[in-house]
Amino acid sequence: MDDVCLAVYRYAVSSPGWRVDEASEALGFTTRSIESAIEQLMERRLLMRANEGPRSRFAAVSPDVALAELVDPDERALLDLRSRIAATRRELAGLAHVFAEASRQASTDAAVEVLEDPDQVMSVLIEYGRSASDCVLMARPGPGATADAQEESIQKDVDLLRQGVRRRTLYHSSIRDHMPTRRAVEIVTAAGGEFRTLPHMLLRIVIFDGKVAVVPRARCADDRAGLVVRDPHLIHLFVRMFDFAWELGEPFLAEDPQPGQLSSLQRSILRALASGQSDEVIARRLGISVRTCRRHIAKMLEDLGAESRFQAGVKAHRAGWI
């Protein structure tokens, strides 16, 4: 409120039953200013009209009374709104268990379930790993885990094997030089686990009991979501793909090939050499270090008795290696 309103309100409190002309004369404001102040004060319920007519008289109203008159309807509306919100909340809360149960059932029945959270993916792997009763098939491209992670995994694998669960794992050939993985493979192999390697692996996958498979969604390089596949037709296809890859693989702990024999990784390197690819390109395509690639090349040159890469390619072709 402006100064005129405050002055008129003070005058109204001290002079009940006053008229506009009286206030104008007492305060020195024009009647137009007094009437504007009266309008504002009445909107705020701070002023009431004592009688009707051209010579209306006015009286002041206590701010507490004015506040109650202004706010009470809003407070009642607010209380009513809160009551309706509470009732709606109780009603919907009663449906929460219905939704949760239906969601669980839908997840169980879904042919493919998407898990956006990597922690959820890990929880599902642990859950199905514990409940496996027949076999666990795993294809694991990429680098090996740390020694600490391997130690935790070893005990889980050994426990499964003791329960009669078969365990087969496919690794990329380059992992044979990773000592934490090699030590883990030696321990689990002694307990009955089976491990093989391949120079090329298209898919990371874990298959539990031939009923459930967990694979990465892999829409892009940063995609960490997982797919839980339960469709029996897809599972059958995954198992056949795994079995095919398994037959092509070499035992993880196999001795180095004798002269005149090549591992699958070495055959892949020779083919790449024959096509003129550089060491760096070959290493990147096969997922191994350049140093490892060159070590294999040197050994093959020695076994073939070749003095150059071109000569090695020719001799390897004649020997039927490529």
Same fold, 3-61 and 264-318: yes
Which uninterrupted H or E stretch holds 16?
none
Residue 158: is its pLDDT beyond 70?
A: yes
pTM: 0.51
Q: Over the stretch 252-262, which tens digit does the pLDDT of each residue have? A: 887 555 445 66
Which tokens is 194 given? 């089976």
Q: Where are the domains of the chain?
A: 3-61, 112-251, 264-318
CATH of 264-318, one of 3.40.50.970, 3.30.70.60, 1.10.10.10, 2.60.120.10: 1.10.10.10
Confidence of residue 216 (pLDDT cuts 50, 70, 90): very high
The residue that leads in pLDDT, 92 or 167, is 167
The DSSP code sequence of 175-200 is GGG-HHHHHHHHHHHHTT-EEEEES-
**DSSP alpha helices (H): ranges in 213-263?**
232-248
Strand partners, 135: 166
Lowest mean pLDDT segment, chosen from 41-55, 132-146, 170-184, 251-265: 251-265
Mean pLDDT, residues 63-91: 78
Residue that is written with structure tokens 């426990």 in the block? 159
Residue 314: is its pLDDT beyond 60?
A: yes
Q: Over the stretch 79-114, which tens digit does the pLDDT of each residue have? A: 778 888 878 877 777 776 776 666 556 555 568 888
Give the fold, CATH level 3, of 3-61: Arc Repressor Mutant, subunit A (1.10.10)
pLDDT of residue 99: 64
- Of the chain, the percentage scoring pLDDT greater than 70 comes to 89
- Of the chain, the percentage scoring pLDDT greater than 90 comes to 19
pLDDT of residue 261: 60
The residue that leads in pLDDT, 109 or 47, is 47
Could you say which DSSP state residue 18 is in? B
Q: Under 8 Å CB-to-CB from 32, ≥6 apart: which residues?
A: none
Homologous superfamily of 112-251: Endonuclease Chain A (3.30.870.10)
pLDDT of residue 212: 92
Q: With H, G, I as helix, E, B as strand and everything else as coil, classify residue 44.
A: coil
pLDDT of residue 271: 78
Confidence of residue 155 (pLDDT cuts 50, 70, 90): confident
Confidence of residue 300 (pLDDT cuts 50, 70, 90): confident
pLDDT of residue 205: 93
Q: Over the stretch 301-313, which tens digit does the pLDDT of each residue have? A: 787 777 777 777 7
Mean pLDDT of the chain: 82
The conformational region for residue 223 under phi > 0 = left, psi -120 to 50 = alpha, else beta, is beta
Q: Under 8 Å CB-to-CB from 138, ≥6 apart: which residues?
A: 167, 168, 169, 170, 205, 206, 207
Mean pLDDT, residues 130-140: 90
Instruction: Report the alpha-carbon distance of residue 201 to residue 246 in Å, rounded.
Output: 11
Instruction: Report the alpha-carbon distance of residue 158 to residue 165 in Å, rounded.
Output: 10
Residue 219: is its pLDDT beyond 70?
A: yes
